[in-house]
Amino acid sequence: MSQMVALPPTLAGCADRLFQVREERLAKQKEVDSLAAEENALKVYIIEELPKSDATGIAGKVARVTVVNKIVPKVEDWDKFYKYIAKTKSWEMLQRRVGEGAVRERWDAGREVPGVGHIQVPTVSINKV
């Protein structure tokens, strides 16, 4: 473990505490999600409205905000992009992550996916009693 946590003395106590901690985290996550939604709405509003005001930024009493354009890659032709990657062996241009849902769908349909195996990962299922 990365930090020391006082664990309950029994496994049953651990189960109960795990449920309580998860419930607390989920409640706080709802608060965080609400703040993130408000933050995003404010950003979108500023991005949409600031250029209309002919200003380069706006300042309040505690903060100054400017809209900055960032160049982000966007694939317009996946076939060309994949061919380029294969030809130049530029695999670093892709993120190495399996689409778990897509692979699982194929496995559920009885099809194998070449080059993809599986491992067992222990998880904990929690249900209120």
pLDDT at 98 > cutoff 60: yes
pLDDT in tens, 10-30: 999 999 999 999 999 999 999
Q: Which pLDDT does position 54 carry in this prediction? A: 82
Indicate the domain borders of the chain: 1-70, 73-114
The Cα 67–Cα 43 span in angstroms is 9
pLDDT in tens, 38-90: 999 999 999 988 888 888 888 999 999 998 888 989 999 999 999 999 999 99
Judge whether 12 and 21 are in contact, CB under 8 Å: no
pTM greater than 0.85 (yes/no): no
C-alpha triplet 104, 109, 110: angle, nearest 5°: 95
Phi, psi for residue 66 in degrees, rounded to 5: -125, 155
Q: Which pLDDT does position 2 carry in this prediction? A: 61
Name the pLDDT band for 112 (thresholds 50, 70, 90).
very high
Residue 115: DSSP 8-state: T
